[in-house]
A and B are shown apart, each in its own frame.
Chain A
């Protein structure tokens, strides 16, 4: 059967155009100013925006309901699960657990147990469904191990997703060194810990030819290194979450543990550099970093609390602020939210084009609402609690099948 979504404003790679989208056999069959076949089931989009559904690269929990509400239909699942995704069986199980509503693309652990020493069975994990390898929440301290991870993953044409913070500098730290951390008396690491880690991993990626994706880059110095590496042709991409684009370290004031993130929130100058890097194309991916944590992990003294925020449900409206504030246009936003993360994972999705998976998001760009952590699908640990936002998914399709509440 053919599904026809008519009267939509189609968010393409370069522009937003009114038109129609046809779905056949879970794939996009045609898109643009086209005729609707007589036997098609027709859905009137009412002039709303139709975009590729979000591909959220680097989530820490399988949270189907939060993803559905957020317009997310594919996630790159971090290997930091219990048990760790360093085993083909675990990878295979993770890949199946979300279907059919949510497609989980597991990121296999780069090293056994994510301990940063011995290579995991990456090829077996790839056979089992892993779409990339990742260092997890931490950094691989040993440069020799990291070089082997990159070289080995390159053999298998898998991207290596890294966490970029020099572990020596960040040991014990829960904040970025600066006035806020000093006033609060929180153990802090200098922001340069990120650039140090990025510099090493860029050089190793260049040396090995591997594809490197730095999951979160949050400082001006690291972004400068990536900008220069891209110019040299290094196969590097990088991402960020809305929190680091919209909040600076002052959000930790009063010991708000919901603002305890990893990497920690940065100073205002770095935040502005991140916005500029989104605008100039240095940053490739915006993800939620979805990491729901209950009160047992957050209602603690700041330094004892777990880092992370629940982000899937607020990813779209927070990312839309970039459009409203004039940093980027809508087509570019969905390149960051869908097309680029799909590319890192090596899947044909995340774009409105014939032949791609019919993962679709119909949304109202201006619908106003207020973030209420208490009403989140799982945990409500968001530093944006209480914030009035705009933009809400109206309907979501995965492989041409509508996801219903």
Chain B
């Protein structure tokens, strides 16, 4: 049994890349306690009391920001939101300066979202406190992958051996990259599906099987994970139209029938109902979409807790 800080030696969570399978599993195990705690109204513990958590979002977000804010508050942290996307901070030109400013304010944990791949790591290298990646460009969105993994583990009993289909705009998706990394690390069989215009080159080198035919990809799937198609990408440059996208990649009840009975349906939200997913599927019995949101809070609580243990001097972590 590995004890304390040795089980998770990382200062930051900038991505799933670089995490060992047992470290991913550790974060999922830690999240389980918060799933239960969040269901009760007895939210007595406040391990992060007195700590300052800054959510610096250089790109607009509603759900993820809210999820991190709730997670921090449930743990007792003082949570401050910095809406950098609406402030004078533009692109990366003052990114290092912003990081140093936040650092000088003695934040205990920084949660960062940025539109450029690699931006969060750049900040993490420059600050003393723990940094949590809430999404950087097309690169990674590790807490989304963790909440998806937790959802799958709870609903399907395990992750290893599950056939997971990830379908949608893989090219621009940080959710897809983080999920591919975590699910392959946890020994799931991952299939990715997209039109060739939205398929990242050499994606098979990440240990997944690419499909352009959604029907074929769905055969025997245990989990179907749909990705959001940004509306600006449906207008002809990459996909001819929303309705043609639905024709080839929309998750309809008929299509879902190709997966195993009771296969799990997932979506990171927000959904384009009637485009990548039909309402009857999104709201159906197989959908885990609202559960994903609940798992999101628990996973983010676990990450905030674990990443601040060293600073808090938790026994075995100091």
- Report the minimum CB–CB distance from A33 to chain B (whole Å): 57
Q: Does A304 contact B (CB under 8 A)?
A: yes
Shortest A100–chain B CB gap in Å is: 39
A103 at the interface (CB under 8 A from B): no
Contacts of B95 in A (CB 8 A): 300-301
B84 at interface, CB cutoff 8 A? no
For residue B121, CB closer than 8 A to chain A, the reply is yes
Residues of A within 8 A of B159 (CB): none
Checking B119, B139, B140, B205 against A179 with a beta-carbon cut-off of 8 angstroms, the contacting residue is B205
- The reply to whether A303 and B93 contact each other, CB–CB distance below 8 Å, is no
B96 lies within 8 A of A185 (CB): no
Given A301-B92, A302-B116, A184 contacting B139 (CB threshold 8 A): yes
Which of chain A's residues has its CB closest to B139's CB?
A185
Minimum distance in angstroms from A248 CB to a CB of chain B: 13
Whether A303 pairs with B117 at a CB distance below 8 angstroms is yes
A300 vs B177: C-alpha distance in the bound complex, in angstroms?
22
Q: Contact partner of A183 among B17, B92, B96, CB < 8 A? A: B17
A299 is contacted by which of B96, B114, B200 (Cβ under 8 Å)?
Answer: B96
The residue of chain B having its C-beta at the shortest distance from the C-beta of A177 within the complex is B201
Cβ of A258 to closest chain B Cβ, rounded Å: 13
- Residues of chain A in range 346-404 having any CB-CB distance to chain B below 8 Å: none
Q: Is B203 in contact with A182, judged by CB distance below 8 angstroms? A: yes
A16 at interface (Cβ–Cβ under 8 A)? no
Partner of A182, one of B91, B137, B140, B205: B205
Asked if B202 is at the interface of the complex by the 8 Å CB criterion, the answer is: yes
Q: A302–B201 contact, CB under 8 A?
A: no
Contact present for A182 and B117 (CB under 8 Å): no
Q: Across the interface, do A300 and B138 meet the contact criterion of CB distance under 8 Å?
A: no
For chain B, give the interface size range: 20 to 34
Q: Decide: B206 and A254 in contact? CB cutoff 8 A.
A: no
A183 and B137 form a contact (CB under 8 A): no
Q: B108-162: which have CB < 8 Å to A? A: 114, 116-119, 121-122, 136-140
Residue in chain A with minimal CB distance to B138: A185
Q: Are B205 and A255 in contact (CB under 8 A)?
A: no
CB distance from A50 to the nearest CB of B (A): 46
Total A-B pairs in contact (CB under 8 Å)?
Answer: 72
State which residues 179-202 of A face B: CB under 8 Å.
Answer: 179, 181-188, 190
- Of all chain A residues, the one with the shortest Cβ separation from B122 is A301
A178 at the interface (CB under 8 A from B): yes
The reply to whether B137 and A301 contact each other, CB–CB distance below 8 Å, is yes
Complex contact B140–A255 (CB within 8 A):
no
Docked-complex contact A303 and B137, CB < 8 angstroms: yes
Determine if B201 and A185 form an interchain contact, defined as CB atoms under 8 angstroms apart: no
Given A255-B121, A302-B117: A179 and B96 within 8 A (CB)? Answer: no
Question: Which B residues touch A187, using CB under 8 A?
Answer: 138
B174 within 8 A of A: yes
Most chain-B Cβ atoms within 10 A of its Cβ — which of A183, A299, A300, A301? A301
Chain B residue numbers with a CB within 8 Å of A303 are 116-118, 137
A residues in contact with B119, CB < 8 Å:
301
A254 to B120, CA, bound (A): 11
> A179, B202: Cβ atoms under 8 Å?
yes
Known: A184-B139, A255-B122. A304 touches B116 (CB 8 A): yes
Which residues 164-214 in B have Cβ within 8 Å of A in the complex? Answer: 174, 177, 200-203, 205-206
Sample of 12 further A-B pairs with CB below 8 A, known A183-B17, A185-B138, A186-B139: A177-B202, A182-B200, A182-B203, A183-B177, A185-B139, A300-B96, A300-B116, A301-B118, A301-B136, A301-B137, A302-B116, A304-B91
A-B contact pairs, 9 of them (CB 8 A): A184-B117, A185-B139, A188-B201, A300-B92, A300-B95, A301-B92, A301-B114, A303-B118, A304-B93
Q: Which 5 A-B pairs have the closest CB atoms?
A: A255-B118, A185-B138, A301-B116, A185-B139, A304-B92
